Chain A
Amino acid sequence: MLNKITYLTIFIFFTYLIADDSDIYKSNSYGWNVPNSQLNIGGYLDMTYDDEREDKFLFNDIAMILSSHKERFDFLGEIELVNISPREESSSRSDVDIYLERVQLSYALSDEQTIQIGRFNSDIGYWNQAPIPILEDTTTKPHLIGHMFPKSTTGILYRQNLNGEDTLSFTLQDNHDIAHQDNLISINRHFGFSYHDVYDDFSLRLAGGLYREKDGINTTYLGVGAEYELDDFTMQGELFTQQSRDKEDNPYSGYLQSSWNFTKREDLVARFEAYDDKNIGMQEEIYLFGYLYRPWTNMALKIEYVYHTHLPLNRFVYSLSVLF
């Protein structure tokens, strides 16, 4: 039986082998381009150590990403192996779950308009655009992810480019989710809009919509976010509110996060969160302080301490993630 250290050693060795980013640095390109084709195959790995969890060591995700372009069509697929615990005796869940995270086909209607069908990350806010640890500065996600709006949508997305980098999009879902998933919000209807405005170092996002959960509960949400990015400093914040006629409201959930890139490969991260969830009768603040080290552009080692004002979840979280 392999123990935790053996798994960790194998994992680090494996990531070292695939994490050589010399070509990535030169080209900003990830994955492997299949010769003489438009197909790119890549993925990411993510492992965490969380003292509060039953399975302290966990391979949260091992995912494969497939993408392809053909004239006006773009295809993107993501398949995940999740929750792989090194513990053979783990009983809290099946040791490995495999599921389809995204499968989407886009078509460029014109120079400025795109239509997309399939299952995709809902075009809402900043964090949900890239909700995996290797792409974010912290291992843990803000409370609003998974609580204030549907993380994924199975339906149609229409996107209009406005004046260069600005975009406006509309989302429509009126069907069941096509994938097995463990999202907290599981929906069969979703109408939403999103607006993204870019002013040099500053950008703004506005999103709103309504969704119906599988049990028939209808909810509306509205949120605003902003990001300010300098050479060695990034500030990002989002605030959402949620109302429902069928259940208690979630009046607010938001966060403000800053990252200070104090050396070329190291960041210090601080995040303040606050939320009020009437459904569970909880109103609290969460403080996070973290350290992020990226030895290569496609690898991240993170340590963070999370402090909750009410829930007994104060802890250190460690993670290692690789994009390949």
Chain B
Amino acid sequence: MFRKLFISMLLFISLNSEEILIIGDKNFPKESLTLQEIRAIFLNKKRFIGGEQILVMNYEANHPLRLCFERNILDRSERSLERYWRKAYYKGKRPPKIIKSTQMLFAYLDSVQPSIGYSDVNETINNVEVRILYRGECIYDR
């Protein structure tokens, strides 16, 4: 009995997840994006939307949200992304703009159109002037 309870608790802890939101500026040309579109935008395979160049933002390395985003949305490991950006650089592509905080993210989203980034739910609900393009989960047991 205790063993089952212990296993259930472990499962609950390991599957504990938080929501991550892919957000665009308030006038972002699309209502929502698919995972494939998000990956294409953040990997610099798709640079324009509605005829305008997208400002794409990412957090610094080791930021908890970035780790979640890379694992759960981009579905790539650190090694895979290193490989990808080395080759992308050779092709003339550049990675997203690095931002240091969600405050910085919202400041850019407020002033640059079209722009895109990601945040957690708590940060986002206090900043209503954005468009939620995709809802994902951060699963920390991966």
Q: Which residues of B contact A50 (CB under 8 A)?
A: none
Report the nearest A residue to B49, measured CB to CB: A111
Residues of B within 8 A of A88 (CB): none
Q: Which of B24-67 contact A (CB under 8 A)?
A: 34, 36-37, 39-40, 43, 45-51, 53, 60-61
Query: What are 15 residue pairs bridging A and B, where the CB atoms are less than 8 Å apart in the complex?
Result: A29-B89, A29-B94, A29-B95, A71-B53, A72-B53, A130-B86, A132-B90, A135-B86, A161-B40, A165-B43, A200-B75, A229-B80, A298-B86, A323-B89, A323-B90
Most buried by B among A31, A161, A264: A161
Residue ID in chain B nearest A22 by CB atoms: B61
Instruction: Give residues in B with beta carbon < 8 Å to A.
Output: 34, 36-37, 39-40, 43, 45-51, 53, 60-61, 75, 77, 79-82, 85-87, 89-92, 94-95, 98
Q: Is B61 within 8 A of A25, CB to CB?
A: yes
7 nearest CB pairs, A to B: A164-B36, A76-B92, A28-B85, A67-B92, A231-B77, A28-B95, A164-B40
Q: Does A134 contact B (CB under 8 A)?
A: yes
Is A188 part of the contact surface with B, judged by Cβ < 8 Å? no
Chain A residues in 8 Å Cβ range of B92: 65, 67, 74-76
**A42 contacts B by Cβ under 8 Å:** yes
**A163 in the interface (beta carbon within 8 A):** yes
Give chain B residues whose Cβ lies under 8 Å from the Cβ of A111.
46, 48-51
Cα-based distance from A297 to B87 in the complex (angstroms): 12
Tell me the count of chain A residues lying within 8 A, CB to CB, of chain B: 43
The one of A30, A108, A264 in contact with B89, judged by C-beta atoms closer than 8 angstroms, is A30
Which chain A residues (273-324) contact chain B, with CB distance < 8 Å? 297-298, 323
Once the chains are docked, how many angstroms separate the CA of A29 from the CA of B90? 11
B89/A231 in contact, CB under 8 A: no
CA distance A166 to B53 in the complex (A): 19
A164 is contacted by which of B39, B61, B75 (Cβ under 8 Å)? B39
- Interface contact A231-B86, CB-CB below 8 Å: no
Counting chain A CB atoms within 10 Å of each CB, the highest count among B47, B61, B92, B95 belongs to B92
Tell me how far the C-beta of A7 lies from the nearest C-beta in chain B, rounded to whole angstroms: 26
> 5 additional contacts, CB 8 Å, given A27-B61, A164-B40?
A26-B60, A164-B39, A165-B40, A231-B77, A323-B89
A129-B51 contact given A26-B60, A161-B40, A164-B40, CB 8 Å threshold: no
Contacts of A164 in B (CB 8 A): 34, 36-37, 39-40, 45-46
Question: Within the complex, which residue of B43, B75, B91, B98 is in contact with A26, where a contact is CB–CB below 8 Å?
Answer: B98
Give the chain A neighbours of B81 by CB distance below 8 A: 28
Nearest neighbor of A137 in chain B, beta-carbon distance: B83
Q: Find chain A residues with CB under 8 A from B49 CB.
A: 111
Give residues 38-79 of A contacting B (CB, 8 Å): 40, 42, 44, 65, 67, 69, 71-72, 74-76
* Known A-B contacts A130-B87, A135-B90; A28 and B82 likewise in contact (beta carbons under 8 Å): yes
